[in-house]
Amino acid sequence: MNQEISYSQWRRENSAFLKGLVGKNIFLLFSGGKDSSLSMDLTLRASEEFGFDFEAHAGAFPVSRYTQEEKGRIQAYWDKRGARIVWHDMKETDEALREAPNPCLLCQKIRKRMLNVILSEWVDDWGNLVLIPSYTLWDIVSYAAEHMLSSTFSISDQSTEDQKMKRFTEIAQRFYPLLKLREGYTVFRPLLKYNGRDVARAVEKEGIPILSIPCEFKEFRPKRVLERYYEKMGLSFDYEAVLDFARGALHIPEASAFASFGKEEYLKDIF
């Protein structure tokens, strides 16, 4: 079953939250891929309607994907629509990824480290901050599959059990579209109720340009393999059903359980 993503429907579902964004310091985390590009499109439309401002921040890594030509092509499109993108260049090179046993894990650590540096330099009032990442429904379905396989069937010792608990906390908080954290800042996930296939279709329909250079390390990400499976099998998921399953079978806590995490722990280890 395909679900058409429209601004009008998305707006209705999120209007109460969107009305409260005026005067907020809004950071949309932008990669140039289909997910963050659709988040940008929806957020830009909402900003024009509700009267708030936002900035898109892009960590240009892996470096090989973000040539000047690629960034210029994407930048030109969003410039015409009046959206601002701040490109942040990384000090690391792709060579570090090529030498890593799992380049995707290292890439995530590097990007997360850069995000913390950016926030420390750009944010004065944490209570006024809104972070917008672009996780989709397919992401959290893949997380659920990952957790079931690792916790039920894999052999582990105490050290891997500790890693599993840390990963579980990281996964569990991503099941919620809206989180309020201890310092008062908010995490908003605008695409969490949408299947990846429908996101791709919406981006194509709107003619939004996305990165054309594939990541050479994408095969190291299990969720990419699972996405191809969903695509081949024609699978679509329902957010409420997935959330009910995660609460009942995986025992993820309620969204309020994450409100006690301080920004140092949350943004460094969990987000």
Model confidence pLDDT, tens digit, residues 76-106: 999 999 999 999 988 889 999 999 999 998 9
* pLDDT of 131: 98
Q: Whole-angstrom Cα distance, residue 45 to residue 108?
A: 29
* pLDDT of 223: 76
Q: Burial of 185 by CB count in 10 Å (0-12 exposed, 13-18 middle, 19+ buried)? A: buried
Residues forming a β-bridge with 86:
57
Q: In what order do the strands lie in the sheet with 85-89?
A: 85-89, 55-60, 25-30, 129-132, 186-188, 178-180
Are 149 and 44 contacting, i.e. CB atoms less than 8 angstroms apart? Answer: no
* pLDDT of 1: 59
Please name the CATH architecture into which domain 7-270 falls: 3-Layer(aba) Sandwich (3.40)
Query: Which DSSP letter does residue 119 get?
Result: H
Are 198 and 185 contacting, i.e. CB atoms less than 8 angstroms apart? Answer: no
Sequential pLDDT tens for the chain (271 residues): 578 999 999 999 999 999 999 999 999 999 999 999 999 999 999 999 999 999 999 999 999 999 999 999 999 999 999 999 999 988 889 999 999 999 998 999 999 999 999 999 999 999 999 999 999 999 999 988 888 877 766 666 666 777 888 889 999 999 999 999 999 999 999 999 999 999 999 999 999 999 999 999 887 777 777 888 888 888 899 999 999 999 999 999 999 999 999 999 999 989 9
Domain chopping of the chain, boundaries: 7-270
* pLDDT of 20: 97
Structure tokens at 62: 């892996």
* pLDDT of 153: 65
Reduce the secondary structure of 12-33 to three states and give it as a string: HHHHHHHHCCCCCEEEEEECCC
- The whole-model pTM stands at 0.94
* pLDDT of 92: 87
Structure tokens at 159: 């050290």
Determine how β-strand 129-132 pairs with β-strand 25-30: parallel
For residue 231, the tally of other CB atoms under 10 A from its CB is: 14
* pLDDT of 159: 61
